[in-house]
Amino acid sequence: MYVRPAAAAAAAFLGFTLTLLGGTASYAATGPGSTAGTGAGIGTGAGAGRAALGGPVVYAHRGASAYAPENTLDAIDLAMQMGFDWVENDVQRTKDGVLVVIHDDTLARTTDVEQRFPDRAPWKVKDFTWAEISVLDAGSWFGDEYAGASVPSLRQYLDRVQRNRQRLLLEIKKPELYPGIEEQTLKVLDEAGWLDARHVAQRLVVQSFSADSVRIVHGLRPDLVTAFLGTPTVADLPRYAEFTDRINPWHTTISADWVSAVHDLRGAHGKAMEVDTWIVDDAATARKVQAMGVDGIITNAPDVVRDAVGGF
């Protein structure tokens, strides 16, 4: 768990220069169509390519979630203001079939659902309609300055990421609870303009803890970059390489030899496989996984990681 800094620290970031550290291009140069600052895409290889761009890619986990309420539009806006291209999110589905961006399969931790709907325990996302979820306060739990922040629909989230000229690491969360969510997610991505050649090549990665879910996405859209969340054994890695491009493990479960074994394989698009590790929120661990050769670091505190490893 991270420790949230004082609200003043978050406010200070609002004036943060948009020029990236580590010798990479400025944020203004990393909009749609640019290759500056991006480590994703079918045409991008593993470790060596990213190292040449200044270090591991830094992904703002659920947005800049150490400083703003996770998975809200405020969190991705803050990540943009801090100069970070890549944001990560979690997708689940409401009772009436709307895809929403929230991490837990219950609304209790990050909204005021218990106060608004006290008789609806255990407050599962799948048991509430979009109309009910859309009126919940998803910011006050984090800080009074975020009172009134809402749980965004996936479409709302995609539109904001697009407006911010950011890139998206999208996680299909608990697909076993939501049959058909892979097809529905792709449909929403398509309707929002996220499945054209430019987005697919440079701005979008779809991941899941479910190998079956990743396999389904790859089967439906073989052009998409995909990632499996977990740490398969070295012996099992070739099976994953058949349908995915990246293996994204918890940082405590990997070694330099394991990372090298992933890099030695060609993924679903014939390119060297990549490793983006999570959740790294301190400088020492960031430098440790960088030394292991990871291609990206997923973090609640992207500024801390960038300062430590010179990522982008």
Catalytic residues: 61, 103
Residue written as tokens 């060596």? 48
Q: Is 136 left (phi over 0), alpha (psi -120 to 50) or beta?
A: beta
Nearest to 76 by CA among 12, 167, 3: 167
**Three-state secondary structure readout of 74-110:** HHHHHHHHCCCCEEEEEEEECCCCCEEECCCCECCCC
Backbone torsions φ then ψ of 60, nearest 5 degrees = -80, 105
Q: Is the peptide bond before 249 cis (omega within 30 degrees of 0)?
A: no
Query: At CB < 8 A and 24+ separation, what contacts does 7-13 make?
Result: 7/143, 7/145, 9/67, 10/67, 10/68, 10/78, 10/145, 13/64, 13/67, 13/78, 13/81, 13/82, 13/303
